[in-house]
Amino acid sequence: MSSSTTESRRRVVLKLSGEALRERGSTDNISPEIVDRMATEVKEAVSSGNLELGIVVGGGNFWRGAAASARGMDRATADYVGMLATVMNALALQGALEDKGVTCVVQSAIEMKNVAETFIRRKADRHLSEGRVVIFAAGTGSPFFSTDTTAALRASEMSADVVLKATMVDGVYDSDPKKNPDAKRYDRVSYKECLSKQLKVMDATAFSLCMDNHIPIVVFDLAPVGNVRRALVGEDIGTVVDAG
């Protein structure tokens, strides 16, 4: 954690998928109601003053670079389009947070001065230390990297205490729970066990960054109302991945 913060404050990077901002079955890319709920839960969590929060949001509700590349598009170009999609999601989330009185800054890895600050590590660190929520947009700024990797990278740069990965499942399983009704969910699992059993927590680059920098990962289900707040305030939820 940053030396400018007190021992009682917890620095967190929350990873949200872009798909999480879309209502299932809807043709709308962003659901204002879902974004509002997310903002409400974030406000409830940060209102105590004990939380420093960075958010990384994906762009899958608009665009997936890998899928476009598989259909013949240049991969680098496809990934840049995906980075711009994350900016749209970041701005929507920023607007909802500010409507609720949460001071929020969007920092983009791609320079776009009219809508967001350009990512600068020291400036982001200062924002967090001063209690502002920072939304990290446009991925890493380079193609071929996922927003999972962005979350792990920003967490490493910000000396975060934990990465919270909000997903559509309630933790890490020993096999696919959608295919195997007897799949076992872990409450806690080590980095080494994840590697040896090839458990899918994050992509390999993101996972390695967290493991090398000793940043625990908490995988939890985004869908139930209140789960984002619970994860942010450190309640027992989902699966914890750490050194064991």
| pTM passes above 0.85 | yes
> Residues within the annotated binding site?
15-18, 59-60, 64, 79, 140-147, 167, 173, 176
Q: Tell me the C-alpha distance between 69 and 16, whole Å.
A: 23
Instruction: List Cβ neighbours of 244 (8 Å cut-off, separation of 6 or more).
Output: 188, 189, 190, 191, 192, 193
Measured CA to CA, the distance from residue 102 to residue 42 in angstroms comes to 9
- What is the average pLDDT across 205-213? 96
CA distance 114 to 110: 12
> Is the Cβ–Cβ distance between 137 and 106 less than 8 Å?
yes
Contact present, 220 and 227 (Cβ < 8 Å): yes
Q: Which positions make up the binding site for ATP?
A: 15-18, 60, 64, 167, 173, 176
Residue with tokens 């969007």: 106
pLDDT per residue over 75-85, tens digit each?
999 999 999 99
As beta bridge partners, residue 186 has 172
Report all structural domains of the chain as residue ranges with CATH numbers, in order of start: 10-242 (3.40.1160.10)
Residue 238 falls in which region: left (phi positive, over 0), alpha (psi -120 to 50) or beta: left
Q: Are 125 and 64 in contact (CB under 8 A)?
A: no
Residue 3 — very low, low, confident or very high, per pLDDT cuts 50/70/90? very low
What's the pLDDT at 200? 86
Residue positions in the annotated binding site for UMP?
Answer: 59, 79, 140-147
| Interval 91-106: pLDDT, tens | 999 999 999 999 999 9
Angstrom distance (rounded) from CA 36 to CA 53: 17
Please tell me the predicted confidence (pLDDT) of residue 48.
Answer: 84
Q: Summarize pLDDT for 134-171 with one digit per residue, the tens.
A: 999 999 999 999 999 999 999 999 999 999 999 988 99
Across the chain, what does the average pLDDT equal?
A: 93
